[in-house]
Amino acid sequence: MEKINILLAEDNKTEQLLIKKFIEKYKLPYNLSIVDSVDDAETIINNDGLDIVLCDFYLKDGTALDILQLDLDIPVIVITGSEHYKTAIQAMKAGAFDYIVKTGKIDHLDILPVTIEKALKRRNDKKRLSLLSKAIMSINESIYFTDTNNKITYVNYTLLQTYGYEEYELIGKDASLFFKNPDENSCLISGETYNVRKDGNSFPVYMLSTPLLDRAGNTTAVCVIVADISRRKKAEAELKEYSEHLETLVKERTDRLRDVERMATIGETAAMVGHDLRNPLQVLVNNIYIAKLKLKKLDCDNPSSVKLTSDSLQNSLDVIEEQTLYMNKIVSDLQDLAKNMQPDKRDVDVRELINGLLSTTKKNSVKVKMNIDKKFPHLSFDETLMRRVFINLIINAIQSISDKGEVSINGFRENGHAVITIDDTGSGIAPDALDKLFQPLFTTKSKGVGLGLSVCKRIVEAHDGTIKIDNKPEKDGAIVTLTFPIIKEN
């Protein structure tokens, strides 16, 4: 345990000895320095490290009052004779911590340890208080205290600087003078608000109020810490403005991009559709020209000329009809792609549906087989739409075969779904094209708009089905797999 440094100012040798003996007897942890004059006391006091001064009232060259006048921040305990109670009062008035009355025997010193202990505790408390007070005073946030009537009792230095007041202008005033909107004062405990400076300018603050309670739990005062958040607010506002600006910018760019994209799509579609319509148009124009030319040369009196001309006209009209249908298909595909698909679903026998198509999709060198048995479930199809899907897929399969080959159409059940596959022995699909097959306007054909498969996909999905196309593993050709839910068993 650290020893307590005590200065004993006493001119009476007996008294000095008495105290020394007392300390020895009780093994008190005191370091005692002894002087007999105010002068000597002053010298020691000026050196650091003293904890307490024990001082006889009368000294060689003065009194304890002279020492008390030094305004020490260490406690002074005055020792007086019993007959001099007035001197004790004098000493207490001058700032002594306590006094001890001499009895002439050693027993008056019995209370010495307790007195010293109390003095030291007081001294520490004072130190702590002074530290806290200094901290509050010099802390970089505005702080004020109010009493229970909201009157200001304390303000710190930062507050005075921030608000532009002198201390005397605030103490005893109602704290609502800090608020831009004084009504707020009563309801705001903690949070953001606006305060006003003495010059009337307002600024954003964050306030934190803490009630100080007594032992019974009653509020005795309120401590309010005010943080000036002007800079944060400004930064926030800037950030907000910046992010809003960014948002507008992104929106603008997105809109512009979407416009460009839309125009590009329209342009691309127009170009592709234009290209695809121009071929049949050329065929129409050519056949009309041929027909006119033949009619011009027609010799009505010559039966063989009549026969030749009528055969030629028939041929031209057939071609014109066929090309018109083809042009119609392009336009329908385009419309299907653009419009909302609303299939008119009915119970359809898939086997019959596909069987009916096979005659229209014939090519002599390609054999088309269908392996769908009678037990295959009927599906809920829009017949017109699904017919288009199957025609498209079967024609694609046939066209992929340049020479001889086979297309087979299979139907089976898998995991409670109806599955239809169309596979061919054709050239298969280039790996980089596989991903793009269902994109509108993507085509691998030199004559084709690239709408067929994207329309197929839309139709299949409108029937809650799925469609995928893969190359057959380890074999030539591609396989299309269609999957549909089975609505009911037949």
Contact 448, 276 (CB under 8 A): yes
Q: Is 155 helix (H, G, I), strand (E, B) or coil?
A: strand
Q: Is 117 or 321 the residue whose CB approaches another protein more closely? A: 321
Q: State which of positions 390-429 bind another protein (CB under 8 A).
A: none
Alpha helices in 165-229 (DSSP H): 167-170, 184-187
Stretch binding another protein (CB under 8 A), from 62-70, 83-91, 154-162, 286-294: 286-294
Strand order in the sheet with 76-81: 30-35, 4-9, 52-56, 76-81, 98-102
* N-to-C CA span, the chain: 101
Residue 447 found at the interface with another protein (CB under 8 A) = yes
Q: Are strands 219-228 and 142-147 parallel, antiparallel or unpaired?
A: antiparallel
Residue 475 found at the interface with another protein (CB under 8 A) = no
CB of 363 to another protein, least distance (A): 13
Residue 281 found at the interface with another protein (CB under 8 A) = yes
Out of 285, 317, 325, 430, which residue is the one contacting another protein (CB under 8 A)?
285
Tokens of 59: 């000294």
CB of 312 to another protein, least distance (A): 8
Stretch binding another protein (CB under 8 A), from 11-19, 243-251, 281-289, 482-490: 281-289
CB of 294 to another protein, least distance (A): 8
Contact 373, 335 (CB under 8 A): no
> Site size for another protein, by CB under 8 A?
23
Q: Please state the separation of Cα 181 from the chain's center in Å.
A: 33
CB of 334 to another protein, least distance (A): 16
Nearest Cα neighbor of 320 from 287, 366, 360 is 287
Contact 79, 109 (CB under 8 A): no
Per-residue x/- track, 316-345, another protein (CB under 8 A):
---x--xx----------------------
Residue 363 found at the interface with another protein (CB under 8 A) = no
CB of 335 to another protein, least distance (A): 21
Tokens of 357: 């198509």
Those residues with Cβ within 8 angstroms of residue 298's Cβ, 6 or more apart along the chain or in another chain: 305, 306, 309
Residue 271 found at the interface with another protein (CB under 8 A) = yes
What is the Cα–Cα distance from 191 to 227, expressed in whole angstroms? 10
What is the Cα–Cα distance from 447 to 435, expressed in whole angstroms? 20
Stretch binding another protein (CB under 8 A), from 162-170, 272-280, 331-339, 412-420: 272-280
Out of 14, 304, 364, 446, which residue is the one contacting another protein (CB under 8 A)?
446
CB of 323 to another protein, least distance (A): 7
CB of 377 to another protein, least distance (A): 40
Stretch binding another protein (CB under 8 A), from 63-71, 185-193, 278-286, 434-442: 278-286
Contact 393, 358 (CB under 8 A): no
| Residue reference for tokens 């007081």 | 122
Out of 278, 307, 363, 413, which residue is the one contacting another protein (CB under 8 A)?
278
Out of 26, 85, 242, 289, which residue is the one contacting another protein (CB under 8 A)?
289
Q: Which residues pair with 194 in a beta bridge?
A: 204
Q: State which of positions 206-245 bind another protein (CB under 8 A).
A: none
Count of CB atoms situated within 10 Å of the CB of 29: 11
CB of 399 to another protein, least distance (A): 11
Out of 228, 276, 336, 382, which residue is the one contacting another protein (CB under 8 A)?
276
What is the Cα–Cα distance from 377 to 413, expressed in whole angstroms? 9
Binding site for another protein (CB under 8 A): 271, 274-276, 278-287, 289-290, 293, 319, 322-323, 445-447
